[in-house]
Structure 1
Amino acid sequence: MRVLFAGTPAVAVPSLDALVAAGFDVVAVLTREDAPLGRKRTMTPSPVSARAAELDLPIIRANRIDSPVTEQIAALNLDAAAIVAYGGLVPQAALDLPTHGWINLHFSLLPAWRGAAPVQHAVIAGDELTGASTFRLEAGLDTGPVFGTMTEAVRPSDTGGDLLERLAHSGAVLLVQTLSAVAAGRAEAVPQRGDISLAPKLTIDDARVDWTQPALAVRRLINGVTPEPGAWTQLGNQRVKVGPVSLVDSATGLSPGTLSLEVQGVLVGTGSGAIVLGDVQPAGKKLMRAQDWARGALQPLQQGELVFS
């Protein structure tokens, strides 16, 4: 079975590896162009591009599937295309090329959380169960018929990154199973059923913490956007990123945003109860443990004088 693999971030790499290990003829890899990364803005290949190079696979680098790219795909004489977080739209002219179409691995139980950030939204919403779906890609936003699903429990301590890492590996197995069924003529795609929810890409503004919200909502937001786009708050006129957090069992009496260094760790008040900070990254500095940061930040102040806003 001649397969094109389309993907860009690290979360797509397990699927590429799984297809190769399963013996599929991956005739080319489509990924986004090299992008500037880090403070020095060094041009860097995508994780999928780097892995494809290691596997000695032909690479098509494109941020848009325009006419020239569509012609390259047409020349591959594909049986199917597998796509995992490529990061660009596939026009109808390209969708029509593979014999069995484009099969998308999406990290939600469709039609729940259609869109670019399904895992983050699932954590923020407090879902207890999520998963992954394989479906036939069509012009609509994650609307195509579903081949298969797998489920994954959302743990109370999960960050968006934790959950996505697990789904990347279990979803890769689902993708291989789906393509194997397609190759054998046993695959059946069924229309999506159930309540539709949307998961648009989260912006930096979406990731700002509102400390007046209840502690559970604050924890879900912070953990959901960790590591991307990263939760943040203001300390005076300085922006501070905050990492994973957990809930405090006992009452603390801290008002929203107020910090306190306690035996349990660095506590921050919310609209109901408090949370324990995991990591902190002040502007222009490296990520550090919250306790290490707070010892220096709180030392010259009276307890309760340091407030996030």
Structure 2
Amino acid sequence: MPASVLLLGSSDVTLTVAQAVDAVGARLSGIVTVGDSFSISYSEKRVANVRSADPAAWAQDKGVPIIPFTTYENVLERHQGKLPAICLVAGWYHMVPRRFREAFPRGCFGFHASLLPKFRGGAPLNWAILSGAKETGVTLFEMADGVDTGLIFGQESFPIAPNAMIGDLVVASRDACATLTKRHLAALLDGHAKGNPQEGEASYGLQRMPDDGRIDWAQSRLEVDRLVRAVSRPYPGAFTTLGEDRIQIWATRIPDEAPLVLGAPGQIVMLPDFDLPGVVTRDGLLLIEDATFPDGSSCLDKLRKAGHKRFAPR
């Protein structure tokens, strides 16, 4: 019988890794899931799992059990002392305690969407765009007591284009996870894989919440554009208000050439040079390409007619 793997996760990347495990002929003993929301220490309310993906249909077709998460002890007890060789953690939002990690004969390994030690911690893909990074990737590493501090067993990098949206990075990171799984899983299962210490200067990203997407129009147009791209679909989106209306802004563009517009940050303008509404920022004009009301309907036509009106500054 092929060596077996337990998988922890409840996101799109979890399903990608499950499919890659199956593709290399390893056996999944189960997928431990938390559903589309979960409790966590940094929030008083349950946190929405915005990248939630239910692997139930795929798992049922493959005969893989779905295990709803309650406690780590319950996961161990479910296996009645016959644990899989390794545990893989992909799309999981909780620290994995040592007592759980050390129960697996060959170890416990995770996927982190950065080139560790860069962007340890929360929201690494979002922070990569927000910080202006030109490259990021995914690291396969051994889970340890610290935050993303364990030995590295593989890395896969990809570029961040100047106008990359967070959705582009999500797809690239999924592909990288599949590549790393297929490249390294056999060696992890037979115990022949060799990990390397993390090298270079570490950086850390803190967890982000939906309210962090509120636009501050007094920032530069580059900063606003980065925020929009970093929290766009599948995330909740950047937002602002116009009177009583909440406006979700999904895509913006910094024009190559635009006349000087004198106005207050957040003031809306329609110029003959563009068919899109523009907004004044600290250092120039930013065009809005995609914006919706909370019900999902487009509000571009309303914004085109809102010249001289002002979004809330912050």
TM-score, length of structure 1 as denominator length: 0.87
Q: Which of 104, 109, 113 is equivalent to 2:115? A: 109
- 1:78 maps to what in 2? 84
Give the drift of 1:22. 1.1
The 3 A distance-change label for structure 1 pair 35 and 150 is closer
Give the drift of 1:170. 2.0
- 1:197 maps to what in 2? 203
Q: How far apart, in 2, do the equivalents of 1:158 and 1:308 lie?
A: 26
Give the drift of 1:248. 1.1
1:87-140, CA deviations, whole angstroms, 9 ceiling, x for partnerless residues? Answer: 223222211111111110111000111112100000110000101100001121
- 1:305 maps to what in 2? 309
- 2:161 maps to what in 1? 155
The 3 A distance-change label for structure 1 pair 225 and 74 is farther
Matched to 2:245, the amino acid is: Q
Paired residues for 1:1-80 under 5 Å: 1-33=3-35, 46-62=53-69, 64-73=70-79, 75-80=81-86
Give the drift of 1:74. 5.5
Matched to 1:286, the amino acid is: G
Q: Is the 8 A contact 1:80 1:101 kept in 2?
A: yes
Give the drift of 1:68. 2.0
Give the drift of 1:298. 4.1
Q: Which of 251, 269, 281 is equivalent to 1:270? A: 281
Give the drift of 1:209. 0.9
Matched to 2:14, the amino acid is: A
Q: Is the 8 A contact 1:258 1:306 kept in 2?
A: yes
The 3 A distance-change label for structure 1 pair 125 and 222 is same
Consecutive unaligned residues of structure 1, counting only runs of 5 or more, are none
Q: How far apart, in 1, do the equivalents of 2:77 and 2:256 lie?
A: 60
**Farther off after superposition, 127-136 or 77-86:** 77-86
Q: Is the 8 A contact 1:31 1:46 kept in 2?
A: no
Give the drift of 1:165. 1.4
Q: Is the 8 A contact 1:32 1:87 kept in 2?
A: no
Q: How far apart, in 2, do the equivalents of 1:144 and 1:124 lie?
A: 25
The 3 A distance-change label for structure 1 pair 192 and 260 is same
Give the drift of 1:58. 0.9
Q: Is the 8 A contact 1:70 1:93 kept in 2?
A: no
SS of equivalent residue, structure 1 residue 130:
strand
1:266-289, CA deviations, whole angstroms, 9 ceiling, x for partnerless residues? Answer: 222211122222221223x2142x
**Farther off after superposition, 199-208 or 50-59:** 50-59
SS of equivalent residue, structure 1 residue 278:
strand
**Farther off after superposition, 50-59 or 110-119:** 50-59
Q: Which of 207, 210, 213 is equivalent to 2:213? A: 207
The 3 A distance-change label for structure 1 pair 307 and 35 is closer
- 1:286 maps to what in 2? 296
Q: How far apart, in 2, do the equivalents of 1:3 and 1:66 lie?
A: 16
The 3 A distance-change label for structure 1 pair 237 and 252 is farther
The 3 A distance-change label for structure 1 pair 33 and 204 is closer
Residues 1:224 and 2:223 are matched in the alignment? no
Q: How far apart, in 1, do the equivalents of 2:58 and 2:205 lie?
A: 28
Q: How far apart, in 1, do the equivalents of 2:238 and 2:123 lie?
A: 15
Matched to 2:150, the amino acid is: G
The 3 A distance-change label for structure 1 pair 241 and 80 is same
Give the drift of 1:307. 3.4
State the Cα RMSD in Å: 2.2
The number of equivalent residue pairs is 294
TM-score, length of structure 2 as denominator length: 0.86
SS of equivalent residue, structure 2 residue 110:
strand
Identity of aligned residues (%): 27
Give the drift of 1:185. 4.1
Q: How far apart, in 2, do the equivalents of 1:224 and 1:46 lie?
A: 20
Consecutive unaligned residues of structure 2, counting only runs of 5 or more, are 39-47
- 1:188 maps to what in 2? 194
Q: How far apart, in 2, do the equivalents of 1:139 and 1:65 lie?
A: 18
- 1:92 maps to what in 2? 98
- 2:44 maps to what in 1? none
SS of equivalent residue, structure 2 residue 205:
coil
Matched to 1:282, the amino acid is: F
Residues 1:137 and 2:143 are matched in the alignment? yes
- 2:177 maps to what in 1? 171
